[in-house]
Amino acid sequence: MSIHVGDLSMEVTLLGPCRNPSPLALSVEDDDFIPNYLEDEAKVLYTSMHDRQVPDVTEAFEAAGPRRQIYFDPRKIKAGVVTCGGLCPGINNVVTAIVNELINEYKVRSVVGFRYGYAGLVASEGYETWDLTPESTRNWNLKGGSMLGSSRGPQSPEEMLDTLEQLNINVLFTIGGDGTLKGARAMFEAAQSRGSRIAIVGVPKTIDNDIPFINKTFGFETAVAKAAEAIQAALIEAEGAPRGVGLVRLMGRHSGYIAAHAALAAGHVDVVLVPESPFALEGPNGLYEVLERRLQKQGHAVIVVAEGAGQELFDENDVSRDASGNRKLNDIGRFLGDRLIDHAKALKNPVNLKYIDPSYIIRAMPASPTDAIFCRRLGENAVHAAMAGRTGLVVGLWSDHFTHVPLAAATSHSKRIDPDGDLWRSVLQMTGQPPRMV
């Protein structure tokens, strides 16, 4: 059955018929105290009350989970794992879960780890691969960062596919964000063109939580918890000085989910600035006036800003790009700090501003317990998908159910806060800031 959300097909590509019995020894009967296999036809309903990016629909995703019949013979295949992009809490947890599920449960005999992102799949880069086993990855889940290493930068999908074929890799798990998933999609399309029967399955890694058709991504909860601690520190600093201002810059290139959720979790935040809601410095509802009114009322203030907010305030000619081709963001945190200090000095009413940027500390943190559980289940479901011959997809979470989202849909746009929605309404109600700071 063809499944669509708006104009996007949610139909998952199969490598071929599944004729091998699964080695998982699960059940097909209810109430026998043995977990069940998932029916091939199982779906997770998609509904949208208000989504301006995707029209209202009543369609479904393919549900993720173990199938009774699988495509690959586990004894005859070789799997690969790669981690790409910026660091994020939980990467090692996902790798460990994939390795354990492949070897301990499906009895796959060989799992290869590619070093330093997609660069590790290009022979000319010269990076060696690692043999991954439950023993060699033991305790990886307790560590932050990526034990396999990571990198940014576009690599030729044809060259990466050549490497997979030369190493006889049948399944590749890609752990990464938007750029990584676009690279996985390019490899998937190249494999389809060649007729290569290689399963390419993604696990979404973006600390910003901005992948569409996925409720949340791993590491987000850990990031929010640590960001809330930074906001509390900023509040303490602000309260301890006359006209004290705590300014916290958080992750969020195109979406302000971490800034919004962390501010709500911490409380006592006076202004939240996100990419989805433009703001001005001057004017009756500009940042200068909003801050001054708050300082006069309570003597201190806390501002939380996402890294992608306010980029329109910079010179449009001052643009550079990173190795992946992404625009390098100007430092809105330091920019605002300098402007707020200078403006207050010009008014002969200075502020005591403390600037906190915990971004790299947050990115390198180990996963929280809840995130660790989530990572484990994402990794397990990624393996179930690949072994059942699914390819060109990312494993997601929707309405508390794990799903298969085609890479084309997952890379179709970035998920962002709806300024008309209830999340942003909660932020505005907590802060008391004007809805339009322009």
| Predicted pLDDT of residue 8 | 76
275 closest CA partner among 417, 430, 412: 417
| Predicted pLDDT of residue 316 | 72
Which helix H or strand E contains 38, and what residues bound it? none
Measured distance CA(234)–CA(28) in Å, rounded: 54
279: Cβ contacts below 8 Å, ≥ 6 apart: 273, 286, 287, 309, 310, 437, 438
208 is catalytic: yes
Question: Do both 373 and 242 map to the same domain?
Answer: no
Does 438 map to a domain? no
| Predicted pLDDT of residue 386 | 98
Question: Do both 192 and 231 map to the same domain?
Answer: no
Does 319 map to a domain? yes
Measured distance CA(273)–CA(431) in Å, rounded: 11
The catalytic position among 208, 210, 270, 357 is 208
Question: Do both 255 and 228 map to the same domain?
Answer: yes
Question: Do both 190 and 259 map to the same domain?
Answer: no
Written as six digits, the tokens of 279 are: 């703001």
Strands 300-306 and 390-391: unpaired
| Predicted pLDDT of residue 6 | 57
Strands 300-306 and 271-273: parallel
Does 72 map to a domain? yes
Question: Do both 172 and 266 map to the same domain?
Answer: no
116: Cβ contacts below 8 Å, ≥ 6 apart: 125, 127, 148, 149, 150, 151
| Predicted pLDDT of residue 355 | 98
Length of the chain: 438
Question: Do both 28 and 177 map to the same domain?
Answer: yes
Does 327 map to a domain? yes
Question: Do both 199 and 309 map to the same domain?
Answer: no
What is the rounded end-to-end Cα distance, in angstroms, of the chain?
48
Burial class (CB in 10 A: 0-12, 13-18, 19+), 50: exposed
Q: What is the DSSP letter of 329?
A: P
Q: How many CA atoms lie within 13 A of 427 on its CB side?
A: 28
Question: Do both 29 and 135 map to the same domain?
Answer: yes
Question: Do both 225 and 353 map to the same domain?
Answer: yes
338: Cβ contacts below 8 Å, ≥ 6 apart: none
Tokens 């520190």 belong to 233
| Predicted pLDDT of residue 317 | 66
Q: What is the DSSP letter of 138?
A: T
Question: Do both 255 and 375 map to the same domain?
Answer: no
Question: Do both 200 and 314 map to the same domain?
Answer: no
Kindly state the greatest CA–CA separation across the chain: 78
- Collapsing DSSP to helix, strand or coil, 121 comes out as helix
Contact 98, 382 (CB under 8 A): yes
Contact 112, 129 (CB under 8 A): yes
Strands 393-398 and 401-406: antiparallel
* pLDDT tens for each residue of the chain, 438 residues long: 345 555 678 899 999 999 999 999 999 999 999 999 999 999 998 876 445 555 444 478 999 999 999 999 999 999 999 999 999 999 999 999 999 999 999 999 999 999 999 999 999 999 999 999 999 999 999 999 999 999 987 899 999 999 999 999 999 999 999 999 999 999 999 999 999 999 999 999 988 888 999 999 999 999 999 999 999 999 999 999 999 999 999 999 999 999 999 999 999 999 999 999 999 999 999 999 999 999 999 999 999 999 999 999 998 766 665 555 566 899 999 999 999 999 999 999 999 999 999 999 999 999 999 999 999 999 999 999 999 999 999 999 999 999 999 999 999 988 999 999 999 999 999 999 999 998
| Predicted pLDDT of residue 321 | 59
Instruction: Encode 123-188 in three state secondary structure.
Output: HHHCCCCEECCCCCCCCHHHCCCCCCCCCCCCCCHHHHHHHHHHCCCCEEEEEECHHHHHHHHHHH
Q: How many CA atoms lie within 13 A of 93 on its CB side?
A: 23
212 closest CA partner among 403, 420, 362: 403
| Predicted pLDDT of residue 152 | 83
| Predicted pLDDT of residue 138 | 95
Question: Do both 210 and 247 map to the same domain?
Answer: no
By residue range, what is the domain housing residue 106?
4-217+365-410
Tally of structural domains, the chain: 2
Burial class (CB in 10 A: 0-12, 13-18, 19+), 143: middle
Does 14 map to a domain? yes
